[in-house]
């Protein structure tokens, strides 16, 4: 083998061929793949909610604060809402959650089929 085709000089020549081989068919269904990840997360969350029997919802806190200012700021009373709040358990409608779960799983199955179709079509045209 000649010195020209050895070592780091060979990589730039092979790079286009390597990229052609690694062209993933998954690029044909990128939006659907993202949506599939979102659906999987929603399915997992709904299954956890059904198993737990309740959902945790954010309940903002509000109150009156007495504010002590510095040398140049004002002293006074202010009404404040704490955006972080606290999480409190709220009962769920289990039948509604099960219907939601069934709907999410049906959407997921249809989306998987769409991804398979697009990936197969992409593989044939690529």
CB 50 within 8 A of CB 101: yes
* Nearest partner of 88 among 60, 113, 66, 116, judged by Cα: 60
pLDDT at site 49: 96
pLDDT at site 86: 79
What are the structural domain ranges in the chain? 24-53+93-126, 55-91
Find all residues with CB under 8 Å of 119, minimum gap 6, and list them: 25, 26, 28, 29
Query: What does pLDDT average to over the chain?
Result: 77
Quick one: pLDDT band at residue 80, thresholds 50, 70, 90? low
The Cα–Cα gap between 104 and 41 comes to 10
Please check the confidence at residue 125 and state whether its pLDDT lies above 80.
no
Share of the chain above pLDDT 70, in %: 56
Please check the confidence at residue 103 and state whether its pLDDT lies above 90.
yes
Quick one: pLDDT band at residue 81, thresholds 50, 70, 90? low
**Residues paired with 59 in a beta bridge:** 86
pLDDT at site 114: 92
């Amino acid at each position: 083998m000649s010195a020209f085709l050895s070592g780091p000089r060979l990589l730039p020549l092979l790079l286009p061929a390597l990229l052609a081989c690694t062209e993933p068919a998954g690029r044909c269904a990128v939006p659907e793949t993202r949506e599939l990840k979102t659906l999987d997360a929603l399915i997992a969350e709904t299954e956890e909610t059904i198993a737990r029997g309740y959902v945790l919802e954010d309940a903002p806190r509000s109150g009156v604060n007495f504010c002590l200012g510095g040398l140049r700021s004002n002293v006074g009373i202010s009404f404040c809402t704490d955006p972080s709040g606290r999480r409190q358990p709220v009962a769920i409608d289990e039948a509604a959650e099960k219907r939601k779960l069934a709907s999410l799983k049906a959407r997921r199955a249809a989306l998987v089929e769409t991804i398979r179709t697009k990936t197969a079509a992409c593989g044939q045209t690529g």
